[in-house]
Amino acid sequence: MNKNYKLKKKGVLLLSGGLDSTTCLAIALEQGFDVYALTIDYGQRHNFEIKTSVNIAEKYKVKKHSIIKVELGQFGGSALTDDIEVPKDRKENEMQEIPITYVPARNTVFLSLALAWAETLESNDIFIGVNALDYSGYPDCRPEYIASFEKTANLATKSGVSGNKFTIHTPLINMSKADIIRLGIKLNVNYKLTSSCYDPKKDGKPCGHCDACILRQKGFNEISSKDPLNYS
């Protein structure tokens, strides 16, 4: 083997198929990671994003893409998994309280699955595209939550207690949606492949009125760029 050859680090990345996780994927690749993408089919009403995650994983040639089915929809309790109307046309100040689109313990479940795969792969790096600035209503997107989970990961795993500590990478957590998009464009992210809408039409076309659509369009508008998705 060439002495100058260096194996890439393995990173497990939670890939929803949305704007944030795709930008996070581009960042992980830019940092030189071999990315193992994990998508969770949790019974979400906007399951069109599962299809987009497949397209994105293929486009970016991730090392492996795994889709795991976890039926959080059996519990309900969220507009994303239950027969509850998705809020539309809300003002930004209305988005700061924990919304009905919050899925109980979702990121804890997701990160636990990513942690299990990472330990199996002998990877110490997990990427998640959470953001606490433009949408601070979700309690499992806050920096203090991520720090707490990272601590738990290192207390609860063979790898962690053996000294091979895990790092939960959240490169977008303190960025505005506009800054995320600006960085993604710099990294040549094709946002036409992504899906952000909480209540898309059957063909996947975004509604343009849910919180996710509103914040996405706001981000593109703030950098004077056109969102490639068709909202009409």
Give pLDDT, residue 134: 66
The alpha carbon of 42 is separated from its chain's Cα centroid by a whole number of angstroms, namely: 14
Written as one letter, the residue type at 193 is L
pLDDT at position 79 over 90:
yes
To the nearest 10 degrees (0 to 180), the angle between helices 177-186 and 211-222 is: 60
Grade residue 232 by pLDDT with cuts at 50, 70 and 90.
confident
Tokens describing residue 4: 């100058």
Give pLDDT, residue 199: 93
Q: pTM for the complete prediction?
A: 0.94
Q: Which of 40, 33, 16 is nearest to 167 (CA)?
A: 33
Q: Say which residues have a Cβ less than 8 Å from residue 110's Cβ, sequence separation at least 6.
A: 14, 38, 40, 128
Q: Which domains does the chain have, with CATH numbers?
A: 10-222 (3.40.50.620)
Taking residues 183-206, report their average pLDDT: 95
Written as one letter, the residue type at 83 is D
